[in-house]
Structure 1
Amino acid sequence: MWRSRKVLATAATAAVLGGTTYAYGDQLKVRTAYLLSQEPTIIDQSQVLFPRQQWDSNWDQRDPMSMVNKEKYLAADPEKRKEMLEEHKPKATRNIFLIRHGQYHLDSEKRNLTPLGQEQAQLLGERLAKTNIKYDVCVMSTMNRATETALLMLEKMDPTIPKESDSLLEEGAPYPPEPPLSSWKPSQKKFYTEGARIEAAFRKYIHRASPRQKHDSYELIVCHANVIRYFVCRALQFPREGWLRLSLGNSSITWMVLRPNGAVSIRGLGDFGHLPHDKVSFT
Structure 2
Amino acid sequence: MATRHLYLARHGAADAFGNLTDAGHRQAALLGRRLAGVPVDAVWHSPLPRAVASATELARSLPDVPVAEAAELVDHVPYIPDTTEMPREWAGFFDGYDDAEAASGQRLAEALVDRFAKAADTDTYEVLVTHAFQIAWLVRHALGAPPYRWLGLHSANTALTIIEYATGLPPTLVMFNDMSHLPPDLRWTGFPDSGRRLVDRP
Please give the TM-score of this superposition, normalised by the length of structure 1.
Answer: 0.62
Match of 1:191 in 2: 102
Structure 1: segments with no counterpart, 5+ residues: 1-90
Alignment check: 8 A CA contact 2:55 2:67 kept: no
Alignment check: 8 A CA contact 1:99 1:252 kept: yes
Instruction: Please say which of residues 146-155 and 198-207 is displaced more in the overlay.
Output: 198-207
Match of 1:238 in 2: 145
Q: Deviations over 1:131-180 (max 9, x none)?
A: x221011111111011100000111x221011221222100010014333
Q: Deviations over 1:193-233 (max 9, x none)?
A: 122112112111111122xx2xx221111111101101111
Alignment check: 8 A CA contact 2:140 2:146 kept: yes
Alignment check: 8 A CA contact 1:255 1:268 kept: yes
Structure 2: segments with no counterpart, 5+ residues: 192-202
Match of 1:221 in 2: 128
| Count of paired positions | 183
| Higher RCO (CA-CA < 8 Å; seq separation 6+) | 2
Cα 1:248–1:217 shift into 2, 3 Å = same
AA paired with 2:63? P
2:74 paired with 1:163 = no
The structure in which a higher percent of residues are helix is 1
* Structure 1 segments of 4+ aligned residues over 3 angstroms from their partners: none
Larger radius of gyration: 1
Match of 2:13 in 1: 103
Counterpart secondary structure, 1:266: strand
Cα 1:127–1:181 shift into 2, 3 Å = farther
Question: Percent same amino acid among aligned pairs?
Answer: 30
AA paired with 1:164? A
Equivalent of residue 116 in structure 1, options 16, 23, 46: 23
Match of 1:139 in 2: 44
Cα 1:181–1:254 shift into 2, 3 Å = farther
Counterpart secondary structure, 2:55: helix
Where do residues 269-280 of structure 1 align in structure 2 (5 Å cutoff)? 269-280=176-187
Counterpart secondary structure, 1:123: helix
Deviation at 1:181, TM superposition (A): 4.4
Cα 1:115–1:181 shift into 2, 3 Å = farther
Equivalent of residue 267 in structure 1, options 151, 154, 174: 174
Counterpart secondary structure, 2:23: helix
Alignment check: 8 A CA contact 1:208 1:262 kept: no
Match of 2:113 in 1: 202
Please give the TM-score of this superposition, normalised by the length of structure 2.
Answer: 0.85
- 1:225 and 1:187 mapped to 2: Cα distance? 21
Counterpart secondary structure, 1:221: strand
The structure in which a higher percent of residues are strand is 2
Alignment check: 8 A CA contact 2:42 2:65 kept: yes
